[in-house]
């Protein structure tokens, strides 16, 4: 990449920086991307043969403590045809899966994530610039665009240092997709199916990483969180069911019949299936927030609305999550809508101040979902 290209840098050092973040072009760009893709995927199904069945299906002799996955993550070849740049991104996911198969986890019990993940991560970090450079992008600032694009994609795979994955990394992938959509010479008017394929392949890759290298949940609220690792996937899946006359009722989704019928075509059900693969015991005990949704909410539009509001507070509005989102010069700048650079809490002072501010899930109250008091 061109030496003049500048990597995204950290801007959020303190809770007080969240107010400036909400004023930024970056914040609005993320919101616009989310709203745009939710409309695109509404009443649209994931095409057949895209999602992996094995990743979300519990084997009859499988224990609840899973750390490995069959050699082939995507056992079906896609019949769905995408525009050129989307296919290049899918090729990146295929290469990522090959690297997982070539990078076996270190044997023996590990208290936290398997350190072989760091080896995989470094391999990906080395090959991504060349792979992304193949994207068709005719513009004078290609070096800067690709540098920032690569940053958001590599950070969407989890943390190499902490050996974990969470909603902050999922947000980084949303930023990556947003960068593609907002530049029409990269993605030209993507369809809902194309967007779903990009997210489906991404989620399959992440689940492959979680299962293979036992990645820890990043900043999980335990049973009082929506999900150990994900949030966005549920909003996308709920939007898929909106305006779908044949969608199952919200209450029916936790049944095995609905899960088996929709887990390869709907991301919400797909995420539920993954929970059932990983966890045993009563669903209302290990996933009470999701269970509450299906006991109290009637329409999928209300589910989407509630989860979206929750996302704005629990992901974009939580310092422990958003402090890891960095800002570039082109894609997600730390500037207001008049183009002025926003102030930043001084890093020197933050060394003292951040000790007072939680950087984990300790003492961080969960925001009540809109349906919680119904």
Q: What is the pLDDT of residue 53?
A: 95
Is residue 20 within 8 Å of 342, Cβ to Cβ? yes
3-class SS string, the chain:
CCCCCCCCECCCCCCCHHHHHHCCHHHHHHHHHHHHHHHHHCCCCCCCCCCCCHHHCCCCCCCCCCCCCCCCCCCCCCCCCCCHHHHHHHHHHHHHHHHHHHCCCCCCCCCCCCCHHHHHHHHHHHHHHHHHCCCCCCCCCHHHHHHHHHHHHHHCCCECCCCEECHHHHHHHHHHHHHHHHCCCCCCCCCHHHHHHHHHHHHHHHHHHHHHHCCEECCCCHHHCCCCCCCHHHHHHHHHHCCCCCCCCHHHHHCHHHHHHHCCCCHHHHHHHHHHHHCCCCHHHHCHHHHHHHHHCCCHHHHHHHHHHHHHHHCCCCHHHHCCCCECCCCCCCECCCCCECCCCCHHHHHHHCCCCCCCCCCCCCCCCCCCCC
Q: What are phi and psi of 189, to 5 degrees?
A: 45, 65
Domain 17-49+82-332 has CATH 1.20.120.1150: yes
Domain spans in the chain, listed from the N-terminal domain onward: 17-49+82-332
For residue 55, CA distances in Å to 168, 190, 198, 206, 324 come to 22, 27, 17, 10, 28
* Cβ within 8 Å of residue 352, ≥6 positions away: none
Q: What is the pLDDT of residue 3?
A: 56
Is residue 280 within 8 Å of 270, Cβ to Cβ? no
Q: What is the pLDDT of residue 187?
A: 86
- Structure-derived torsion over alpha carbons of residues 215, 219, 222, 223, reported in degrees to the nearest 10: -110
Q: What is the pLDDT of residue 328?
A: 94
β-pairing, 164-165 vs 216-217, is parallel
For residue 63, CA distances in Å to 60, 193, 278, 280 come to 9, 34, 9, 9
- The pair of structure tokens assigned to 57 is 């299906």
List of the chain residues with pLDDT < 70: 1-3, 60-79, 220-224, 346-374
Is residue 227 within 8 Å of 75, Cβ to Cβ? no
Q: What is the Cα–Cα distance from 142 to 125, expressed in whole angstroms?
A: 19
Q: What is the Cα–Cα distance from 42 to 236, expressed in whole angstroms?
A: 8
The number of residues making up the chain comes to 374
Q: What is the Cα–Cα distance from 94 to 134, expressed in whole angstroms?
A: 15
Q: What is the pLDDT of residue 63?
A: 44
Q: What is the pLDDT of residue 65?
A: 39
* Nearest CA among 360, 112, 354 for reference residue 220: 360
Return the sign of the alpha-carbon dihedral for residues 52, 244, 304, 302.
negative
- Structure-derived torsion over alpha carbons of residues 164, 169, 170, 174, reported in degrees to the nearest 10: -170
Supply the angle between the helices 142-155 and 167-182 in degrees, to the nearest 10: 150
Q: What is the pLDDT of residue 149?
A: 95
Q: What is the pLDDT of residue 77?
A: 47
Q: What is the pLDDT of residue 236?
A: 98
């Amino acid at each position: 990449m061109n030496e003049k290209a500048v990597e995204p840098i950290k801007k959020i050092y303190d809770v007080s920086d969240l107010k400036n973040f909400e004023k930024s072009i970056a914040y609005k760009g993320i919101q616009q991307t989310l709203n745009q893709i939710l409309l695109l995927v509404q009443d649209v199904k994931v095409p057949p043969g895209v999602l992996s069945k094995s990743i979300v299906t519990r084997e009859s002799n499988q224990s609840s403590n899973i750390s490995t996955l069959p050699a082939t993550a995507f056992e079906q070849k896609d019949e769905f045809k995408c525009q050129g740049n989307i296919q290049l991104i899918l090729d990146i996911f295929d290469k990522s899966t090959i690297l997982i198969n070539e990078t076996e986890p270190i044997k023996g019990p590990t208290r936290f994530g398997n350190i072989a993940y760091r080896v995989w991560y470094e391999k990906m970090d080395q090959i991504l610039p060349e792979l992304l450079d193949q994207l068709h992008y005719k513009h004078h600032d290609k070096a800067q665009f690709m540098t920032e694009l690569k940053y958001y994609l590599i950070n969407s795979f989890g943390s190499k240092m902490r050996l974990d994955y969470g909603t902050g990394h999922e947000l980084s992938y949303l930023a990556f997709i947003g960068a593609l959509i907002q530049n029409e010479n990269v993605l030209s008017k993507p369809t809902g199916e194309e967007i779903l394929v990009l997210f489906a392949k991404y989620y399959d890759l992440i689940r492959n990483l979680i299962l293979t290298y036992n990645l820890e949940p990043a900043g999980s609220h335990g049973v009082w969180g929506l999900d150990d690792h994900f949030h966005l996937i549920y909003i996308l899946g709920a939007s898929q069911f909106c305006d779908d006359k044949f969608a199952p009722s919200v209450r029916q989704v936790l049944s095995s019949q609905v899960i088996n019928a929709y887990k390869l075509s709907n991301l919400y059900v797909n995420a539920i299936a993954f929970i059932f693969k990983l966890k045993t015991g009563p669903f209302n005990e290990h996933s009470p927030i999701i269970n509450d949704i299906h006991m109290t909410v009637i329409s999928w539009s209300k589910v989407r609305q509630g989860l979206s509001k929750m996302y704005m507070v629990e992901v974009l509005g939580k310092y422990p999550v958003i402090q890891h989102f960095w800002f570039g010069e082109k894609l997600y700048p730390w500037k207001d809508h008049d183009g002025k650079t926003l102030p930043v809490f001084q890093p020197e002072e933050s060394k003292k101040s951040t000790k007072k501010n939680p950087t984990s899930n300790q003492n961080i109250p969960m925001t009540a979902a809109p349906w919680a008091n119904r």
